[in-house]
Amino acid sequence: QVQLVESGGGVVQPGGSLRLSCAASGFRFSTYGMDWVRQAPGKGLEWVAFIRYDARDKFYADSVKGRFTIYRDNSKNMVYLEMNSLTAEDTAVYYCAKMFSWGDFDYWGQGTLVTVSS
Protein backbone atom coordinates (compact mmCIF):
# COMPACT_ATOMS: atom_id res chain seq x y z
CA GLN A 1 0.00 0.00 0.00
CA VAL A 2 1.06 3.56 -0.64
CA GLN A 3 2.80 5.29 2.24
CA LEU A 4 4.24 8.75 2.55
CA VAL A 5 6.14 9.51 5.74
CA GLU A 6 7.41 13.01 6.42
CA SER A 7 10.22 13.82 8.81
CA GLY A 8 12.55 16.65 9.69
CA GLY A 9 10.14 19.05 11.33
CA GLY A 10 10.93 20.81 14.57
CA VAL A 11 11.56 24.16 16.19
CA VAL A 12 13.88 26.56 14.40
CA GLN A 13 14.79 30.18 15.03
CA PRO A 14 13.77 32.93 12.63
CA GLY A 15 16.28 33.14 9.82
CA GLY A 16 17.20 29.50 10.26
CA SER A 17 17.06 26.54 7.91
CA LEU A 18 15.46 23.12 7.92
CA ARG A 19 15.24 20.20 5.53
CA LEU A 20 12.09 18.13 5.36
CA SER A 21 12.09 14.61 3.97
CA CYS A 22 9.31 12.43 2.63
CA ALA A 23 9.86 8.70 2.31
CA ALA A 24 7.59 7.09 -0.28
CA SER A 25 6.71 3.43 -0.66
CA GLY A 26 4.13 1.19 -2.26
CA PHE A 27 4.20 2.72 -5.74
CA ARG A 28 6.56 3.40 -8.61
CA PHE A 29 7.92 6.65 -7.20
CA SER A 30 9.98 7.65 -10.21
CA THR A 31 6.89 7.99 -12.40
CA TYR A 32 4.84 10.42 -10.29
CA GLY A 33 4.99 14.12 -9.56
CA MET A 34 5.20 15.08 -5.92
CA ASP A 35 4.22 18.15 -3.96
CA TRP A 36 4.52 19.84 -0.60
CA VAL A 37 1.44 21.48 0.90
CA ARG A 38 1.38 23.26 4.25
CA GLN A 39 -1.21 24.24 6.81
CA ALA A 40 -0.59 26.88 9.45
CA PRO A 41 -2.19 26.17 12.84
CA GLY A 42 -5.96 26.58 12.57
CA LYS A 43 -5.70 27.78 8.97
CA GLY A 44 -6.38 26.44 5.50
CA LEU A 45 -4.22 24.56 3.04
CA GLU A 46 -1.46 26.31 1.11
CA TRP A 47 0.25 24.71 -1.86
CA VAL A 48 4.03 25.10 -1.50
CA ALA A 49 5.95 23.33 -4.27
CA PHE A 50 5.76 20.77 -7.08
CA ILE A 51 8.42 18.59 -8.65
CA ARG A 52 7.95 16.59 -11.82
CA TYR A 53 8.57 12.86 -11.77
CA ASP A 54 11.99 13.31 -13.38
CA ALA A 55 12.77 16.58 -11.52
CA ARG A 56 13.00 18.52 -14.79
CA ASP A 57 10.30 20.95 -13.67
CA LYS A 58 9.84 22.58 -10.28
CA PHE A 59 7.38 25.26 -9.28
CA TYR A 60 6.90 27.21 -6.07
CA ALA A 61 4.37 29.37 -4.29
CA ASP A 62 5.25 33.05 -4.38
CA SER A 63 5.53 33.03 -0.58
CA VAL A 64 8.46 30.59 -0.62
CA LYS A 65 10.12 31.27 -3.98
CA GLY A 66 13.83 31.91 -3.57
CA ARG A 67 13.88 30.50 -0.03
CA PHE A 68 12.62 26.92 -0.46
CA THR A 69 13.93 24.23 -2.78
CA ILE A 70 12.17 21.00 -3.66
CA TYR A 71 14.20 18.07 -4.93
CA ARG A 72 13.97 14.33 -5.13
CA ASP A 73 16.10 11.19 -5.21
CA ASN A 74 14.34 8.57 -7.30
CA SER A 75 16.93 5.96 -6.34
CA LYS A 76 15.87 6.33 -2.70
CA ASN A 77 12.15 7.08 -3.22
CA MET A 78 12.57 10.35 -1.38
CA VAL A 79 11.41 13.91 -1.89
CA TYR A 80 12.81 16.81 0.08
CA LEU A 81 12.03 20.39 0.91
CA GLU A 82 15.00 22.56 1.79
CA MET A 83 13.79 25.64 3.67
CA ASN A 84 15.95 28.71 4.29
CA SER A 85 15.43 32.17 5.79
CA LEU A 86 12.50 30.89 7.80
CA THR A 87 10.04 33.30 9.37
CA ALA A 88 7.15 32.88 11.78
CA GLU A 89 4.82 32.80 8.77
CA ASP A 90 6.39 29.47 7.76
CA THR A 91 5.12 27.81 10.93
CA ALA A 92 2.85 25.01 9.72
CA VAL A 93 2.28 21.33 9.29
CA TYR A 94 3.98 20.35 6.06
CA TYR A 95 2.40 17.56 4.04
CA CYS A 96 3.97 15.54 1.29
CA ALA A 97 1.47 14.57 -1.41
CA LYS A 98 1.59 12.23 -4.39
CA MET A 99 -0.01 13.19 -7.68
CA PHE A 100 -1.81 10.49 -9.67
CA SER A 101 -2.61 12.87 -12.49
CA TRP A 102 -1.94 16.54 -13.12
CA GLY A 103 -2.74 18.50 -9.97
CA ASP A 104 -4.64 15.67 -8.28
CA PHE A 105 -3.29 14.38 -4.99
CA ASP A 106 -4.37 10.85 -4.26
CA TYR A 107 -2.16 10.17 -1.24
CA TRP A 108 -0.96 12.38 1.57
CA GLY A 109 1.41 11.87 4.44
CA GLN A 110 0.46 12.61 8.03
CA GLY A 111 2.52 15.77 8.02
CA THR A 112 5.46 17.15 9.98
CA LEU A 113 5.23 20.27 12.13
CA VAL A 114 7.64 23.13 11.60
CA THR A 115 7.66 25.86 14.24
CA VAL A 116 9.67 29.01 13.66
CA SER A 117 10.16 30.75 16.96
CA SER A 118 12.88 32.37 19.02
Partner 1 sequence: DIVMTQTPLSSPVTLGQPASISCRSSQSLVHSDGNTYLSWLQQRPGQPPRLLIYKVSDRFSGVPDRFTGSGAGTDFTLKISRVEAEDVGVYYCMQATQFPWAFGQGTKVEIK
**Residue with Cβ nearer partner 1 (66 or 103):** 103
**CB-nearer residue toward partner 1: 16 or 107:** 107
DSSP 64-95: TTTTEEEEEETTTTEEEEEE-S--GGG-EEEE
Q: Is 60 in the site for partner 1 (CB under 8 A)?
A: yes
Closest CB to partner 1 among residues 23, 61:
61
Q: What are the CA-CA distances from residue 102 to residues 23, 38, 50, 51, 115 (Å)?
A: 21, 19, 11, 11, 30
Q: Does 110 bind partner 1 (CB under 8 A)?
A: yes
Binding-site member from 31, 41, 56, 102 for partner 1 (CB under 8 A): 102
Q: Least CB distance from residue 13 to partner 1, whole Å?
A: 27
Closest CA to 116 of 41, 45, 36: 41
